[in-house]
Structure 1
Amino acid sequence: MPCHGAFSGQDCCRTLDQTGACSLGSHTNDTALPEYRLAPTSQLLLFGDFARTFLEGSWHVKRRSAAQSYDTLDVIAPNFKRRLSGVTATIARLVSIQVSSIPIAATGPGLPSDVPHLPLWRILFLSRRLRVWHARRNNDLLIGLLLKWLGISKLKVVFTSASPRTRTGWTRFLVSKCDEVIATNQVNADVMMRGCVIIPHGVDIECFFPSNEAASADEHLVIGCYGRIRPLKGTQDFVEAVCRLLPDHPNWSAVVMGRVLPRDRSFFDGLVERVEKAGLAGRIGFKPEVSLEDMPAAYRELAIYVAPSHLEGFGLTVAEALASGVPTIATRGVGAFDTLVDTPKNGLLYQPGDVVDLEAKLLQLMEDDELRGEMGHAARASAIERMSLEVEADQLVEVYRRLLTA
């Protein structure tokens, strides 16, 4: 079974790509990682010629089609965002598992080539029998509702909410037209202002597993922080904490890994400047977002994982780190962190933005090899017991079947 995660990367220097997004080029002495290729797509035309909307290309990527013929599909999982994200990772992971229980395929660009896939234009020619359209973004939801309202497809529309933000009037309108709404935790359910089924995210414990190599006393150890690099992710708190700690701990280094959007470029430059002023450019690295398949190995390189987010819908990287047997420090009251991190068994919690407390929690783990080992074992055990991806997949399939037979 393929492994699907959220982010990964390698040692790098900064460059600016043609889109204006800050990407990160690898050092010449590093091993190159496989390139992640995205299928081309036409722009979505919400009002107009829908035939053009469905010219989603897959000519340059060899894709695995759905195991069954397209016409027998019961569930369609749209993904109309080309950029890699946690939502894309969720769709890839779940569809690959759910296909063994129900006829399902994803549609849209940006997904790994081994995910069961329905070319978008083929939706126009599917038989008009009842299907489930499971959207996880507003645009994906809108397209499903338009397909339904225009009589192109006979659909039961499902929307998953993974955001704690108060919804706009437009989003509330779209959600009010759904046949079912799923929330990943109670906080996300509360902001929807309608009944929700709560199904937490899971993690593929067969792909995310601990390293078999025991750390030696003199080994160089790494602290990691993965995800989008921006203020709401708390990246600045992580960088500040490790800048204060690393000078007194020569066998430790740190890595920040994720994508930088153009609007966050000045923020990113400030982080790099802080590291350079601390004289730690060789010990605090910034890595780029790469393929989903490379994520499990990225966690196995870590001795400690930190999730310093100020706001999260769920926080999948914490579940992935725990499944990988990595002691985790996360922010209290953010996303599902309080549920995932059972302090002080598998990790530690601190108040968002409290750099002093984060520094203290890091120091506690950095200076206690035995504690890190105990937490790592507990982290893996907690993931197996409570965070299995199969549980999430099965619960979603139950929702699909209920809607299809209602």
Structure 2
Amino acid sequence: MPEPIGDIEIVAPNFKRQLSGVTSTIVQLIPLQRRLGLRIATLGPGLPAGLPKISWLSLLRLWGRPKRRDVRLWHARRNNEMIAGVLMRDALRIPLRLVFTSAAQRNHKPFTKWLIRHMDAVIATSARSGSYLEMPHTVIMHGVDIGRFHPAETAEDEFAATGLPGRYAIGCFGRVRHQKGTDLFVDAMIALLPDYPDWTAIIAGRTTAEHKAFEDELKVRIAAAGLQDRILFLGEVPDIKIWYRRLSLYVAPSRNEGFGLTPLEAMASRTAVIASDAGAYAEMIEPGTGTVVPAGDGAALREAIRPYLADPMLAATHGDNALVHVRKNFPLEKEAGAIGAVYERVFRKSSRAVGQ
């Protein structure tokens, strides 16, 4: 059932049907924000049935103010959501204030810069993404749900339960494509696994039709090396969380990235991480939890992996450290609280709460 619009003070739109990192962020954050007392709902297609949301018809009632505030907040994360917010606030005179979260790590196009300048508050998901913004902003890095992503607890969580060869697993998860660096991971495994027979490589994630030839070519290279039983493509798995728990080492070799949550998910599962310096990876990994290498540098990636394969106890130690680091610095509650503080500053600046 759609939420009564009079009760909603913050709308977090999702104007994209396909699952994306932005959609995943919205899906994870909103239930937690509600538990923290925020009157927030989302709007848009392709969202889970149980997520608090408003209907499209509710947009016609945004001229009416919420029960406890003089204005509502519209939290955009994409350009089209910013456009909708600016039109509603400035053209239709709807009592809205606009918040935008930017994850992009590139120079923005002129129109995007114009939109961002018309926001009432801007959040950057990393210091690097913030460096491309030409206006004041708050850096709030994404967090991870440490209740959902956690270390192994049962025998089923152990790699031995898979029945796959070897004693230890190294994994690379996410969409299979050149941008994600799947080929860099495969090349490193082809070079290293013959020297480390206790290790098996796991690749999990969706391959779209557009990238099927890319995956097929990787499988040809693996077969030519005689490693088809030790470098495995699982495709999309029903529950990726258990596979993080089964790994001893996780690799995130992206050539470019917006933010990139997978290293945090791995570290929350007590798994050491090697990542490129794409996205926010370098800002989430610290010495003793893993290693960061230049994006696109296959040789550097290979040599960063080698010490962990040679010494599984190093991977275990760094995994322990990673778990402590993530639980301290990247719980989802910390992200939700920081966003809530931004909301409250905008409310205080632009309107007075009523009935308090």
- Is the shorter-chain TM-score for this pair beyond 0.5, marking a shared fold? yes
Residue 189 of structure 1 pairs with residue 130 of structure 2: yes
Find the counterpart in structure 2 of residue 282 from structure 1.
229
Q: Secondary structure at the match of 1:133?
A: strand
* Structure 1 counterpart of 2:265, from 304, 320, 325: 320
Asked if the contact 1:106/1:117 (under 8 Å) is kept, the reply is yes
Find the counterpart in structure 1 of residue 219 from structure 2.
272
* Structure 2 counterpart of 1:230, from 177, 201, 207: 177
Partner letter of residue 336 of structure 1?
A
Residue 335 of structure 1 pairs with residue 270 of structure 2: no
TM-score (norm 2): 0.87
Asked if the contact 1:71/1:127 (under 8 Å) is kept, the reply is no
Find the counterpart in structure 2 of residue 47 from structure 1.
none
Q: Secondary structure at the match of 2:148?
A: coil
Asked if the contact 2:159/2:247 (under 8 Å) is kept, the reply is no
Asked if the contact 1:124/1:152 (under 8 Å) is kept, the reply is no
| Distance in 2, Cα, partners of 1:106 & 1:289 | 27
* Structure 2 counterpart of 1:201, from 138, 142, 153: 142
Shift of 1:98: 0.4
Q: Aligned ranges for residues 169-184 of structure 1 at < 5 Å?
A: 169-184=110-125
Query: Hey, which bits of structure 1, 4+ residues long, moved more than 6 A?
Result: none
| Distance in 2, Cα, partners of 1:203 & 1:287 | 24
| Distance in 1, Cα, partners of 2:208 & 2:90 | 35
Q: Secondary structure at the match of 1:99?
A: helix
| Distance in 1, Cα, partners of 2:2 & 2:307 | 49
> Residues 266, 70 of structure 1: CA spacing in aligned structure 2 closer, same or farther, 3 A cutoff?
same
Find the counterpart in structure 1 of residue 9 from structure 2.
74
| Distance in 2, Cα, partners of 1:250 & 1:348 | 23
Shift of 1:83: 1.5
Find the counterpart in structure 2 of residue 143 from structure 1.
84
> Residues 271, 147 of structure 1: CA spacing in aligned structure 2 closer, same or farther, 3 A cutoff?
farther
| Distance in 1, Cα, partners of 2:111 & 2:207 | 28
Gaps of 5+ in 1: 1-63
Q: Deviations over 1:191-244 (max 9, x none)?
A: 12222111111111111111125677x954221112232222222111111122
Find the counterpart in structure 2 of residue 25 from structure 1.
none
Higher helix share: 2
Percent of counterpart pairs with the same letter? 38
Gaps of 5+ in 2: 66-70, 350-356
Find the counterpart in structure 1 of residue 44 from structure 2.
108
> Residues 81, 290 of structure 1: CA spacing in aligned structure 2 closer, same or farther, 3 A cutoff?
farther
| Distance in 2, Cα, partners of 1:84 & 1:300 | 23
Aligned residue-pair number:
336
Shift of 1:91: 0.8
Residue 124 of structure 1 pairs with residue 64 of structure 2: no
Shift of 1:113: 2.7
Residue 356 of structure 1 pairs with residue 299 of structure 2: yes
Q: Secondary structure at the match of 1:193?
A: coil
Q: Deviations over 1:222-281 (max 9, x none)?
A: 211122322222221111111222233333222222333444343333223222322323
Asked if the contact 2:248/2:316 (under 8 Å) is kept, the reply is no
Q: Aligned ranges for residues 362-377 of structure 1 at < 5 Å?
A: 362-377=305-320
Find the counterpart in structure 1 of residue 250 from structure 2.
305
- Larger RCO of the pair (alpha carbons < 8 Å, separation 6+): 1
Asked if the contact 2:166/2:200 (under 8 Å) is kept, the reply is no
